[in-house]
Structures are given as C-alpha cells and as structure tokens.
Amino acid sequence: MRDGALDDDYLNQIVAAFGIRRERAVAHQWVDNGPGWAVVQLATAQEVLDLEPDLVLIPDAMVGAIGAYPEGFEYAFELRTSLAP
C-alpha cells in the first residue's frame, strides 16, 4: 500500500503526460483502494475537463485528476480516473 505525496520524478512524468506545467498541480498523492492510484489535483474542474493526456508517456500509470467547481455549483469536484491505461 502506498500513501503520501508522489515523488518528484513520478509527478514530473504525470504532468508531462497531462501536457501541463508542474505548478498547475496544486496537490498530489497516492490513493490506494486496491490498485495504487496517483491523483493530481488541479485548481479547477475546467482544467481537469480540458486535459488531453498523452498516456504513451506513462503507459503503466494508474492516474487520475481532480479539480474543484466554483462555489455554488451543483457539484463540488470533477474527477477523471479514465486516465488509466
């Protein structure tokens, strides 16, 4: 079981595959619910929806992204876990 923050090298691989700058990842950690998922938090739900990841760069990764909707929106967060191979 993995927990805690992602190591720098792995986070760098993920943000490269996401096509974003590292500073756009406002938080990151392992989420282990059986398989070990790496989750990167972006500032907004729209940033998550706009991702066009290049999964060839992280072919074995189990990765997701989460971002918050504005206050008062029907939902609190957008979560994409279909980013796994």
- Which pLDDT tens digit goes with each residue over 24-69? 999 999 998 777 889 999 999 999 999 999 989 988 888 999 999 9
Q: How many alpha carbons lie under 13 Å from residue 16 in its C-beta half-sphere?
A: 11
**Which residue in the block uniquely carries the two structure tokens 């756009």?**
24
**Which residue in the block uniquely carries the two structure tokens 């805690």?**
4
Structural domains of the chain sorted by starting position, each given as residue range(s) with its CATH number in brackets: 8-80 (3.10.310.10)
Whole-model pTM: value is: 0.87
List the beta strands (DSSP E) in 1-85: 25-32, 36-42, 63-68, 77-80
